[in-house]
Chains A and B, each alone.
Chain A
Amino acid sequence: MLRAKNITKTFGGLTALDDVTLNVAAGSITGIIGPNGAGKTTLFNIITGIYTQTAGEVYLDDENISFFPPETLARMGLVRTFQNVEMFGQMTVLENVMVGLHTKSRSGFLSCAFKLPRQIREEKLIKEKSIRWLEFTDMTDLAGMRADSLPFGKSRLLEISRAMALEPRIILLDEPAAGLNSRETLQLAELIRRIRELGITVVLVEHDMDLVMDICETIFVLNLGKKLTQGTPREVQENPAVISAYLGVS
């Protein structure tokens, strides 16, 4: 479903990614792991159109999306979350999710300013749908809170609800478990499975090995900007190259 082909990215003299190829099967949960500085987030940023690669191509289904900006990708059903949670801090939790329905609504400047009947109907619909996505992550009781006053774990969930409101075909989660306690991590694993059950492909970058091994079908291992290996959790765990990359044994 998602293919990144021979991606290379250099920042000045530094090669962050070197000829990396990634294949994500439709309907799967795919993990990307690797030590710090392996280029995981850079790869995410390239796929989601935030960075432009130095070489290589990205395909969504069979369309070349190499140079598509994030807003176009969102309309095509590709959405992501951020490692450092990017909330709309001054807005309420509910409003944050409502922004997620931007691409699902049409009203322009005039119909919004004059509150035309069509816009009022649409606004009601946006609200109802958003509440449903808050239910999905069990956050309805926080709907009226300002997003920047949420505890960290909840803001991660909010980011996921907001992304889900887009009704994406594929969702990329950048370290969704970072900063979560073990109970929250378990809930996250369950949430990711529920997302997949909706037919949505999930890709995640993660440091929490237990989580990755638990939920992913395929794992890609990056090290120092290069793809080390890929395989099932078991294959990856037993791969000597992976072990040495993590433990520093040669």
Chain B
Amino acid sequence: MVETQTSLIEARSVAMSFGPAQLALTHVSTSIQTGEFVALLGPSGCGKSTLLRLVAGLMAPSEGTLTVGGLTPENARRGTRRVAFVFQEPNLLPWRTVADNIRLPLELQGVPRTEHSARIEQSLRLIGLTGDDSRKRPRNLSGGMRMRVSLARALVIQPDVLLLDEPFAALDDVLRQQLNEELVRIWTRHQWTGLFVTHNVAEAVFLSQRVLVMSKRPGTIIEEISVPFAYPREPGLRANLEFARLCGDLSQRLRGVAQ
């Protein structure tokens, strides 16, 4: 794996509070390299989603500095960095077809109309959807398919940074594993900088090069663990003894954190 040594996302003693005695994050410092795939692992309610929303520039931190490519996240997103976000829910517009849902970011960001159909088609293929699916409406899709569309919508802008907020948490285990495998495959081809929030240890280890472990609320990063497995990662990796040992180890630490 080629490692580019420039840090893209920089957090320095970031804190976030939603009012007095409502501290969600405290003393968060980390840096994420360009093209790196990082998982953010922590117990429920530890503020990991909040951290992701800060990186997306949906909110500003109460204290500390957070930069993406040297700019505030919002300015980075409005400038040259293409940032995409995948929500926990598919969040599709029910009145639009699959293709038109995927088209939405292109419309909003003013991508020339002539490019739309090629980009949508590419995105659909990447995520394993057919032209037939693209004419359906979200209500006619299964939960897994909706999540795929949501992913395709994020990828259609060819993001520099892809932020994922527990996107597969509501899916059954087999589907979750399949989508993890596809996400890894897409990442090895496109090399966006990825930040994946999850509370599932195996998912974090399977996907990422590095796992940031967060404490319970108010959340802070208590440990950074690099994942030694090479890409492409095959499904068989989950049966690997080393993989199981790392997952077990992480689970143990998480349990310690939660108490």
Asked if A pairs with B, the answer is: no
List the interface of chain B (C-beta within 8 A of A): none
A-to-B contact residues, CB < 8 Å: none
